[in-house]
Amino acid sequence: MRCDKQITQSYEIARERYAALGVDTGKVLETLESIPVSMHCWQGDDVNGFEVAAGGADGGIMSTGNYPGRARNAGELRDDLDFALSMLPGTMRVNLHAMYLESEKPVGRDMIAPEHFANWIQWAKEKQIGLDFNPTCFGHSMMVDGMTLSSPKEEVRKYWIEHCKRSREIAEVMGKELGKRCVMNIWVPDGFKDIPVNRMAARQRLKDSLDQVLADKKDPACMADAVESKLFGLGCESCTIGSHEFYMAYAMEKNVMLTLDAGHFHPTEVISDKISSSLLFMDEILLHVSRPVRWDSDHVVLFDDELQAIAAEIVRCGVNRVNIGLDYFDGTVNRILAWCTGTRNMQKALCKALLAPDATLSGWELEADFSRRLAMTEELKAMPWSDVYDYYCLKHNVPVGADYIAAAVDYVKKTAVTRGV
């Protein structure tokens, strides 16, 4: 049984303890509420998508595991998303890929149109949530020799350029219909397994293709473009065409968002340190919050040091300038729980970051009082930030603490039986 009274009492104590540090928990909850988190649909079906001629996630990424109950169609995925969203407080968005289209007949990716996403848009409208979008440039026979937009073959490039152009149109319609801007992120897996000779030519082709994709002006109130870099992928260990330097420079030149994925850098390199530098030169960025374990393995997001550092940087650099997307896929665990645990961790990290007395800490930093900065930062870890998050869940009438676990296990048990996968 949930003890609402105790949760409220704990919050009151926390409120006083934070007030003593000069932090207003009421304001913190208001800000937390205003920060949307975009939950990725692809955790729900192991990045398979619902095209009639199915593709699957080959090409640089891979989901492993066969936990029962994977969503087999868009209706099931929406049911699962409905359930997961009912476990989550605050402002949520849902991030779709082009391969989640709905059509009875096969549709080439160079033929996709807003009508194929009508059900998704209707669903989001009813839920009053925003949608984000991605062209799907992997898991497809037109990905030739590991290449899409940077292929040396003109017909291959043309196919993917058309796919990305149409994806932008769909994103614009989504934003317009929902009255909430849709962020569209381009990621291509293009690269070489072994050492290439002409990196420059491949990157030149990627640049030219992207220039064509982005040529049409779109209504900035309805959609915004983002481009995602990567260090390496499965099968392209020696060179990724869309590297960090490539996209950082490209995003600057084109005035589009740079996407920083937590798993796309060297193992000890962190994206938390890249947020401030990027935002000095760019209006906005997109994050793919993920968890690499030894490689870009896309494990469920944990409440670990890097997640807390990412949240702290978002709060310090400007919550309105960082678009938060989640990007992980684990097929070995209950997929609904994976959504809930990862998303709640993101929200908890934001809550804890908002509760930090940053003005005081910055003052000490300016005075080179690093001792106090260190001691206080450590003390903050044991402050009752979780009582504030629990109260936030209570206020939103979603499960508090571990209560969502049993509910999600139960839901999957029931649906898995009927799905038979």
- Residues in contact with Zn ion, total (CB under 5 A)? 3
Burial of 102 (0-12, 13-18, 19+ CB in 10 A): middle
Q: Is 288 a catalytic residue?
A: yes
Which of 121/248 has CB closer to Zn ion? 248
Q: Are strands 130-134 and 92-97 parallel, antiparallel or unpaired?
A: parallel
Q: Is 237 helix (H, G, I), strand (E, B) or coil?
A: coil
Q: What angle do CA 340, 323, 116 make, to 5 degrees?
A: 75
Q: Which two tokens stand for residue 217?
A: 């002006």
Both tokens of 71, joined, read: 């969503």
In this complex, which beta carbon is closest to ligand RNT, that of residue 228 or of residue 390?
A: 228
Residue 298 annotated among the catalytic residues of the structure: yes
Kindly list the distances between the CA atom of residue 359 and the CA atoms of 21, 362, 373, in Å, as whole numbers in the listed order.
Answer: 10, 5, 11
Nearest to 61 by CA among 300, 270, 271, 297: 297
Catalytic entry in 261, 330, 387, 390: 261
Is 385 among the catalytic positions? no
Task: Choose, from 163, 274, 288, 352, the residue flagged as catalytic.
Answer: 288
**What is the rounded distance in angstroms from the CA atom of residue 326 to the CA atom of residue 373?**
30
Residue 161 binds which entry of Zn ion, ligand RNT, none, with Cβ cut-offs from 5 to 8 Å by kind? none
Write out the residues near ligand RNT by the rule CB under 6 A: 42, 47, 60-61, 97, 134, 187, 228, 230, 261, 288, 296, 327
CB 195 within 8 A of CB 23: no
Residues 352-371 as x/- pattern, contact with Zn ion by CB under 5 A: --------------------
Q: 51 is in the binding site of which of ligand RNT, Zn ion, none (Cβ under 5 to 8 A by kind)?
A: none
Name which of ligand RNT, Zn ion, none residue 232 binds, using a CB cut-off of 5 to 8 Å depending on partner kind.
none
Q: Which is nearer to Zn ion, 192 or 265 (CB)?
A: 265
Closest CA to 355 of 8, 3, 15, 7: 15
The tokens describing 107, both together, are 């549709």
CB-neighbour burial class of residue 106 (10 A; exposed 0-12, middle 13-18, buried 19+):
exposed
Quick check: is 58 catalytic? Answer: no
- Whether 230 is catalytic is yes
In the list Zn ion, ligand RNT, none, the entry touching 117 (Cβ below 5 to 8 angstroms by class) is: none
187 carries an active-site annotation: yes
Catalytic residue list contains 264 = yes
- For residue 58, the tally of other CB atoms under 10 A from its CB is 15
Residue 327 touching Zn ion (CB under 5 A):
yes
Q: Which does 140 bind (CB under 5 to 8 A by kind): Zn ion, ligand RNT, none?
A: none
Q: Closest distance between Zn ion and the C-beta of residue 287, in Å?
A: 9
**CB of 327 vs ligand RNT, minimal distance in Å:** 5
| Active site (catalytic) residues | 187, 228, 230, 261, 264, 288, 296, 298, 327
Residues of the shown chain interacting with Zn ion in the complex, contacts defined by CB under 5 A: 261, 288, 327
